[in-house]
Amino acid sequence: MAASAFMSWVATENFLSVERLLHDPTAGAASQIKVLGYEQTRQLLRYQVSEQNRFYLSNWEVAELVMGLALFGVLLFGTDVGKYSLTLPLIMLLLVALAHWLITPRMVSLGRALDYMPSTAGAREEAGFSTLHRAYGVVEVAKLVLGLLLAGILAWRPLTRRKVRENLDLVDHSHHRRVNR
């Protein structure tokens, strides 16, 4: 969950870094900006940042799928949690899959179409991109809420000390043989 928040921060900071660079460039960068022009440099840098964010997003989603499968496997085979605790990571996995295979490819495609499109020509595409971006945000918030709910359930579930003690006491019953070699 922290890594998802970090990825959101990185994506935002990448775009802000373009503005910081353009407003306070080094001497070498300032001469290149002057040659290319402020708007063209801004557009090129924003394109580079967009491609970088697309790369991070796709790879992060693959990492989320792997980690989600691992979490589900640990909960299924390594614990005695109930069906509800197993359902939450499955829903989270489905949300990641939805984003990875349905939302993100469309968002990437529309984003690339908008990268060098004049701002007046792409109103329809921008509206579609904004809708997909909001849907992606909803998926991220839903995953966060489900993850916090799962963490709460796992942290505050009743400890089964009695069962553990009973299982340990079974070893010391007189009808169990000890093997000392």
User: Is the residue at 177 inside a domain?
Assistant: no
Please write the tens of the pLDDT for every residue from 22-42.
999 999 999 999 999 999 999
Residue 158 has pLDDT above 60, yes or no: yes
User: Is the residue at 98 inside a domain?
Assistant: yes
User: Is the residue at 148 inside a domain?
Assistant: yes
Q: Residue 81 CA to chain centroid, in angstroms? A: 25
Distance CA 85, CA 72 (A): 9
User: Is the residue at 92 inside a domain?
Assistant: yes
User: Is the residue at 89 inside a domain?
Assistant: yes
User: Is the residue at 180 inside a domain?
Assistant: no
Distance CA 90, CA 71 (A): 10
Distance CA 103, CA 61 (A): 11
pTM for the full model? 0.80
User: Is the residue at 77 inside a domain?
Assistant: yes
Q: What domain count does the chain have?
A: 1
Please write the tens of the pLDDT for every residue from 93-131.
999 999 999 999 999 999 999 998 876 777 888 999 999
User: Is the residue at 90 inside a domain?
Assistant: yes
* Domain membership of residue 12 as a residue range: 2-170
Structure confidence at residue 162 (pLDDT): 44
- How far, CA to CA in Å, does 114 sit from each of 51, 76, 108, 128, 141? 12, 44, 10, 11, 26
Distance CA 67, CA 61 (A): 10
